[in-house]
Structure 1
Amino acid sequence: MAWRRSTSSAGSAKRRPSRHGRHGREERSPVVRPPLRPLDTRMDRFDLSVGTAAEFLRSAWPELREVSFEVADMPAASDDDGIPRWAVFSDQKRIVLFRLPIERLSHLHRDDELHRRMMIEGCVFRAAAEYLDRDPWDLGPERFRYF
């Protein structure tokens, strides 16, 4: 059985709106979508802040060039002082920063991107100072002068 177009009572073919293609479907979307913004998550921003601070410290302090700066979500357990923000393993040449305690338990006087980054970088500096057994201000005094 052949397919036939339906005709109106006047006998002429029914006209489709112009938005339909030749098979009666609506116009298709373009094959390539517009470029999307890159994903920018809290973890990505945290890793970037830790990485830039670690690279600064490695370039300024030769003792830190072989040290591995790592990011973990949470410590295995809390200690007598509460939940640690970082752990220093001098024998393994490793510093581990715990993202969730740093982000959630630190109190910012202004909650914006700059102050969050400064708080994360401050934790990296304090962890590196603990590794080197020095005062954090000795590691980069000009680094803490934001204003």
Structure 2
Amino acid sequence: MTGPHLPMLRTRIDFFDACVASAVEYLRALWPEELTGVRIDVASFPPGEQGPDGVDRWRTDARTRRVVLYRVPIQRLAILHRDDDWHRRSYIESCVFRAVAELLGKDPWDIAPERYRHF
């Protein structure tokens, strides 16, 4: 419930989607040619069984030029030293940068030199 004197409600899903959109926009501005035709989607959970490295945070497919980020594992399995919006946003962005770097065969430090933070 909101009203003229109450702040708008912001859900975890809205926050996650906004962080992903911001990171993708940033990357598309830096790497327009490399990211032409790349689809970046968000899904709640990875399909199937847990992989050898645990629960997947994302999946890339070079053949279809697609990245799928899994919201629930990214949000729920993050170990942050400070649980605030800035650290949550930085972690989500770092997942986007790492997933896109994996798709492009580059290092995350190279694709997002001003914003990549390793968690």
TM-score (norm 2): 0.88
One of 24, 34, 56 as aligned partner of 1:54: 24
1:106 Cα deviation from its structure 2 partner = 1.1
Q: How many residues are treated as equivalent by the alignment?
A: 113
Which residue does the alignment assign to 2:68? 96
1:66 Cα deviation from its structure 2 partner = 1.7
Relative contact order: is structure 1 or structure 2 higher (C-alpha 8 Å, sep ≥ 6)? Answer: 2
1:34 Cα deviation from its structure 2 partner = 4.7
One of 34, 39, 49 as aligned partner of 1:63: 34
Matched, 1:75 2:51: no
Q: Secondary structure of 1:69's partner?
A: strand
Residues in 2 aligned to 1:128 and 1:55: alpha-carbon distance in whole angstroms: 12
Gaps of 5+ in 2: none
Matched, 1:106 2:78: yes
Q: 1:34 to 1:47 in 2, by over 3 A?
A: closer
Gaps of 5+ in 1: 1-32
